[in-house]
Amino acid sequence: MSVNSQVADVVILGAGVIGLSCAYQLLRAGQSVIVLDRQGPGAGSSHGNCGTLTPSHAPPLAEPALLRRALTWIGRSDAPLYIKPRLDPALLNWLLRFALRCRASAVEESTRARAAILKQSSVILESMIADSGIDCEYRAEGLLYVFRDYQALDEYADLPAQMQRLGLSAKLLDRAQMHAAEPALNDSVIGGLLHENDAQLRPDRYVAELTRLVLEYGGQIVEQAEVRSFERSGSRVRAVTTRDGRRYSAANIVSALGAWSPKLLAELGLAVPIQPGKGYSITYTRPANAPRLPLVLKERSVCVTSWDSGYRIGSTMEFSGYDDGLNERRLAALERAAREYLVDPVGPTVMERWQGWRPMVYDDLPLIGLAPGFDNLWLATGHGMLGVSMSAATGVLIRQLMLGQSTDIDPSPYEPKRVVKLKAA
């Protein structure tokens, strides 16, 4: 075999939290695995996200109230949801389909499927962390939704009952209970919800630990290995070739390319309806009065996470294509939101200002399973706002489907063929 060619049981494209979770599961099942990344582990959205693990987020983004709220955000470039005005047929088509999902029956369907994978992922992740000695500042003490406005809080009055129907626990907290639960909140906070099943970790640490485990189990991770093309034979992908001309062949290929998925998979005639949902975060050294629990500042849709090693505020959802610039207005909006709710809103020193692209599918469900028209090309992508939260169960599901094992959860809601189309050659 030429030095420019390598073979494995499985080649995984993308070393984000999803690709690495798949690699870990497949290696433990005895498969040989090569992971290719155009940069390296955690180069994409898996690096600077907020690191919350949130079964509480089972209800999807697309819901009737969002359309109403979105109308008040139009034209505001610092709003939680921003769509850069432009003529982009793929985006317009995506937005139309997203809007059509904002109805009760679709919300119900997505919520059930999201809850199933989120709950399963939390269980697997907790035992993985314990069994494999993963050191990533994991803490499972819940997450708080924080409110400053009674009317906004009232809209969530039914949430505890909804969560209970999903087998999850959320408690409404009044003003005094909120301040007792979280002394880092300022006086303007009037109440909130405690999501008891949620947890947090430090995402860059988690990715580093997954990388360590993949290598320890004999996997290979190739950095600076941008996949450029596929070798196809009928319904099978035989090999991929990277920018430097190296060829990697395998019995199975897993595409875990996050927001980059549509670009590369178009080479195979696959139309993957993923839009990059850009978000921002600012990481600081830890402030003196850092919140004990991860927080969602609800009226501003901003997330706050503290670790022993630091402090992060993050969020915003911007549809501006594959633009990787840092928008100062949106970064400033994060700090402004933190100032509204917190005694000590920012840390003493800024460590990193970051942007990342969430891989957003319009029905807010991930794509896990065979690509339509292929027997050995697996998709593991489209996790949107919840890739870390769903990562462990995604790795297990890919392993179970690929190796013909029985699955822990029903895989049908995540089947790519529901939305991914194979264009005629």
Ligand X SMILES: Cc1cc2nc3c(=O)[nH]c(=O)nc-3n(C[C@H](O)[C@H](O)[C@H](O)COP(=O)(O)OP(=O)(O)OC[C@H]3O[C@@H](n4cnc5c(N)ncnc54)[C@H](O)[C@@H]3O)c2cc1C
Closest approach of ligand X to the CB of residue 243, in Å: 8
Q: Which is nearer to ligand X, 140 or 190 (CB)?
A: 140
Residue recorded with tokens 């690495």: 20
Q: Which is nearer to ligand X, 15 or 213 (CB)?
A: 15
369 φ, ψ to 5°? 145, -170
User: Of the candidates 85, 113, 83, which has an alpha carbon nearest to the alpha carbon of residue 99?
Assistant: 83
166 to each of 59, 333, 414, how far by Cα in Å?
Answer: 10, 33, 18
Q: What is d(CA 210, CA 41) in angstroms, rounded to the nearest whole number? A: 9
Residue recorded with tokens 């970051």: 354
197-215 burial, b for 16+ CB within 10 Å, e for fewer? bbbbbbbbbbbbbbbebbe
Q: Which stretch binds ligand X (CB under 6 A): 4-12, 30-38, 210-218, 398-406?
A: 30-38
Q: Does 191 bind ligand X (CB under 6 A)?
A: no
Closest approach of ligand X to the CB of residue 173, in Å: 21
425 to each of 266, 291, 374, how far by Cα in Å?
Answer: 11, 54, 14
Q: What is d(CA 350, CA 348) in angstroms, rounded to the nearest whole number? A: 7
Binding mask 376-415 for ligand X (x = CB under 6 A): -----x-xxxxxxx--------------------------
Q: Which of 22, 24, 26, 38 binds ligand X (CB under 6 A)?
A: 38
Closest approach of ligand X to the CB of residue 305, in Å: 7
Q: Which of 260, 284, 362, 414 binds ligand X (CB under 6 A)?
A: 260
Binding mask 294-333 for ligand X (x = CB under 6 A): ---------x----------xx------------------
Terminal-to-terminal C-alpha distance of the chain: 31
Three-class SS state of 313 = strand
Per residue, the 3-state secondary structure of 189-242, as one string, reads CCEEEEECCCEECCHHHHHHHHHHHHHHCCCEEECCCCEEEEEEECCEEEEEEE
Q: Which of 122, 281, 283, 320 binds ligand X (CB under 6 A)?
A: 281
Q: Does 80 bind ligand X (CB under 6 A)?
A: no
Binding mask 213-242 for ligand X (x = CB under 6 A): -------------xx---------------
Q: Which of 11, 12, 44, 369 binds ligand X (CB under 6 A)?
A: 44
List contacts with ligand X (CB under 6 A): 13-19, 36-39, 43-46, 49-52, 226-227, 256-260, 264, 279-281, 303, 314-315, 356, 358-359, 381, 383-389
